[in-house]
């Protein structure tokens, strides 16, 4: 896979998983509303995908070594991967009770991050366990913090 596509895809997948899961957990902790969680997922899939793709575009433009074509490849790979992976979190929410869907989504998200991290480590000739552990630890931190933020909102703004 071309570097520009790999860069956009890996960023989009990682951001899509972490941002969507963090938002879902925070919204669930604060509202326990399936409607609110679905709205959050759709918002992330559209607004954050466009935002991240724009950020990737500007970041790539800031580096003089990229061609116009590679910049757009990274941009669209980010947009598409973020959009698609964010939307995959809709499946458990639509099919399961919300509390079960959140647990399934956490397992799904952690698994995707582990697999993505493993392939990144292999490609970069790094130690897979170190890279996977580091990325999973960051994701667990996001899960804990967004849950606490959701609880805080529920207590102080309800």
User: What are 39-92's pLDDT values in tens digits?
Assistant: 999 999 999 999 999 999 999 999 878 889 999 999 999 999 999 999 999 999
Place of tokens 């697999």: 115
Q: What share of the chain is helix, strand, coil (3-state, %, to 5)?
A: 90, 0, 10
Whole-number pLDDT of residue 103:
97
Q: Please determine, for residue 1, whether its predicted confidence score (pLDDT) is greater than 80.
A: no
Give the residue from 50, 96, 94, 56 showing the smallest Cα distance to 75. 56
What pLDDT score was predicted for residue 2?
A: 86
Q: Which two tokens stand for residue 27?
A: 């919204």
User: pLDDT > 90: what percent of the chain?
Assistant: 88
> For the whole prediction, is pTM greater than 0.85?
yes
């Amino acid at each position: 896979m071309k570097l520009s596509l790999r860069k956009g895809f890996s960023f989009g997948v990682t951001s899509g998983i972490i941002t969507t899961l963090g938002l879902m957990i925070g919204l669930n902790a604060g509202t326990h509303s399936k409607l609110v969680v679905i709205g959050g997922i759709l918002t992330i899939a559209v607004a954050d995908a466009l935002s991240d793709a724009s950020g990737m575009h500007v970041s790539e433009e800031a580096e003089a070594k990229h061609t116009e074509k590679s910049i757009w490849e990274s941009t669209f790979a980010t947009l598409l991967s973020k959009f698609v992976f964010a939307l995959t979190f809709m499946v458990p929410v639509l099919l399961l009770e919300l509390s079960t869907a959140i647990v399934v989504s956490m397992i799904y998200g952690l698994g995707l991050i582990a697999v993505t991290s493993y392939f990144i480590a292999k490609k970069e000739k790094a130690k897979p366990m170190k890279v996977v552990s580091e990325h999973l630890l960051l994701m667990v931190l996001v899960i804990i913090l967004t849950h606490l933020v959701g609880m805080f909102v529920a207590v102080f703004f309800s």
